[in-house]
């Protein structure tokens, strides 16, 4: 099973600002912990990671994923709340996708309460900080094992 983990704009800055919202860990640390979690849980999955600050690059990766991956975990960051293009790409790719957020977007500013992507995802996990990625991986893994 191959899973692609996509992270959107500014998530490369994690660990440098707003630790009270996003935590102290860098994205590299979060990714490393996710691999350790996968190994500890004995999940038979290969994980690939990609972060970009560019909307079109996220769309390219989602389109390409159709050929190479069984599932996607995506934190579209601020594009969550603005990008119909990314939502359309997720729908067109038709690969089980889980949307992830470090913070609980539903308890924050009004403009963060909307996700265009979630309609085209099998689930959304928000508010568990870096553990959101671990819960997403567990959920997607079980989904792919038993539903695909």
Catalytic center residues: 22, 101
Q: Give dist(CA 136, CA 128) in Å, integer.
A: 10
Q: Is residue 93 a contact point for ligand CA2 (CB under 6 A)?
A: no
Q: Give dist(CA 30, CA 129) in Å, integer.
A: 10
Helix (H) or strand (E) holding 105, with range, is none
Exactly one of 72, 87, 102, 117 binds ligand CA2 (CB under 6 A); that residue is 102
Q: Is residue 11 a contact point for ligand CA2 (CB under 6 A)?
A: yes
In the complex, least distance from residue 17 CB atom to ligand CA2, rounded to whole angstroms: 4
The piece of 13-21, 28-36, 117-125, 136-144 that touches ligand CA2 (CB under 6 A) is 13-21
Q: Is residue 10 a contact point for ligand CA2 (CB under 6 A)?
A: yes
Q: Give yes or no for a contact between 28 and 125, defined as CB atoms under 8 angstroms apart.
A: no
Q: Which residue has the tokens 């819960």?
A: 135
Residues 103-114 as b/e (b if ≥16 CB within 10 A, e otherwise) read bebeeeeeebee
The contact set with ligand CA2 (CB under 6 A) reads: 10-11, 13-14, 16-18, 22, 75, 77-78, 80, 101-103, 105, 112
């Amino acid at each position: 099973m191959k899973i692609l983990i996509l992270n959107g704009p500014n998530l490369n800055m994690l660990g440098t600002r707003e630790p009270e919202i996003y935590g102290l860990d860098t994205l590299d640390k979060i990714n490393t912990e996710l691999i350790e979690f996968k190994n500890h849980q004995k999940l038979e999955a290969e994980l690939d990671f990609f972060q970009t600050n560019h909307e079109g690059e996220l769309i390219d990766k989602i389109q390409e994923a159709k050929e190479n991956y069984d599932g996607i975990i995506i934190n579209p960051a601020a594009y969550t709340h603005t990008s119909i293009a990314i939502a359309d790409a997720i729908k067109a790719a038709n690969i089980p996708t889980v949307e992830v957020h470090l913070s609980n977007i539903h308890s924050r500013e009004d403009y963060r309460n909307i996700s265009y992507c979630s309609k085209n995802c099998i689930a959304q996990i928000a508010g568990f900080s870096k553990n959101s990625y671990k819960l997403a991986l567990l959920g997607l893994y079980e989904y792919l094992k038993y539903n695909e």
